[in-house]
């Protein structure tokens, strides 16, 4: 299926490895011009070596000034932005009572505010040409308990923000959606580390918690992203699309 993404200008945060890197490859396969964002130049250069014709930006997206400069540089070079994918994120902490308040702030600083800020700038540009797509990578835990409460809270806020922005700009030709991945395995990811440390426990987790009987792959998330970025998904607005092999418990 031709998704009509050839020659589109795409910016992806958190894309030097894992899900973000797979998203970048999927857009490249569709013929798009792709720029990726990451914190470490070593990882970005490796991604560029692996993927080929991409632009790389070393940016700490938790820093407001660096985010603004990123968008200025991207727009100066490309002249427009057709697709923004907010994939950067991370979290720490434990239960509510075990977690310092500072860790809640940190979770929002990495998972929520970068997406809000970059989406706002991108949407303003997209509205001018009445075309564009923004996809926020959320999580199944943004809609239910489980995992780290700091991460869950920030992803829940991101899902809500996605719906609010979508309703505001859809009539101006800009489409905004989010994706809620389940447990995805990739090199240097959290599940690789856990599998190495506790293989039997993780096998039991998969058997009990994931009806599909396996982890998801970054490529499966990437395929959903490129579809949502295309005109084939023009009637999908403000949605949070679950891609999880049946893992989530939520009925909404």
Cα separation, 26 vs 221, whole angstroms: 10
CA distances in angstroms from 194 to 49, 113, 214, 219, 230, listed in the order given? 28, 28, 14, 21, 35
Among this protein's residues, is 151 annotated catalytic? yes
HSE-up (13 A, CA, CB side) for residue 3: 21
Q: Are the C-beta atoms of 122 and 132 separated by less than 8 Å?
A: yes
Q: Which of 33, 57, 112, 151 is catalytic?
A: 151
* Helix 18-29, helix 218-229: angle, nearest 10: 50
Q: Is 74 helix (H, G, I), strand (E, B) or coil?
A: helix
Q: Is 168 exposed, middle or buried (0-12, 13-18, 19+ CB in 10 A)?
A: middle
Strands (E), the chain: 9-12, 33-38, 54-58, 83-86, 132-137, 174-181, 240-243
**Active site members:** 151
């Amino acid at each position: 299926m031709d998704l009509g993404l050839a020659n589109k200008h795409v910016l992806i945060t958190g894309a030097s490895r894992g899900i973000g890197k797979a998203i970048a490859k999927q857009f490249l396969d569709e013929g798009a011009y792709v720029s990726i964002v990451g914190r470490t130049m070593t990882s970005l250069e490796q991604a560029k070596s692996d993927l080929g014709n991409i632009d790389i930006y070393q940016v700490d997206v938790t820093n407001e000034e660096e985010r603004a400069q990123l968008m200025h540089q991207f727009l100066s070079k490309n002249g427009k932005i057709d697709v923004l994918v907010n994939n950067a994120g991370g979290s720490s902490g434990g239960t509510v009572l075990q977690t310092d308040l500072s860790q809640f702030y940190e979770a929002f600083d990495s998972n929520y505010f970068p997406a809000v800020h970059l989406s706002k700038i991108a949407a303003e540009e997209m509205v001018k040409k009445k075309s564009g797509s923004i996809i926020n990578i959320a999580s199944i835990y943004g809609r239910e308990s489980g995992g780290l409460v700091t991460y869950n809270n920030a992803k829940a806020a991101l899902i809500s923000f996605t719906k609010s922005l979508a309703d505001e700009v859809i009539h101006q030709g800009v489409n905004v959606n989010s994706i809620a991945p389940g447990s995805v395995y990739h090199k240097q990811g959290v599940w690789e580390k856990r599998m190495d440390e506790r293989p039997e426990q993780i096998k039991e987790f998969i058997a009990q918690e994931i009806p599909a009987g396996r982890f998801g792959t970054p490529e499966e998330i990437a395929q959903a992203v490129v579809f949502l970025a295309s005109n084939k998904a023009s009637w999908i607005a403000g949605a949070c699309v679950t891609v999880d092999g049946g893992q989530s418990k939520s009925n909404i």
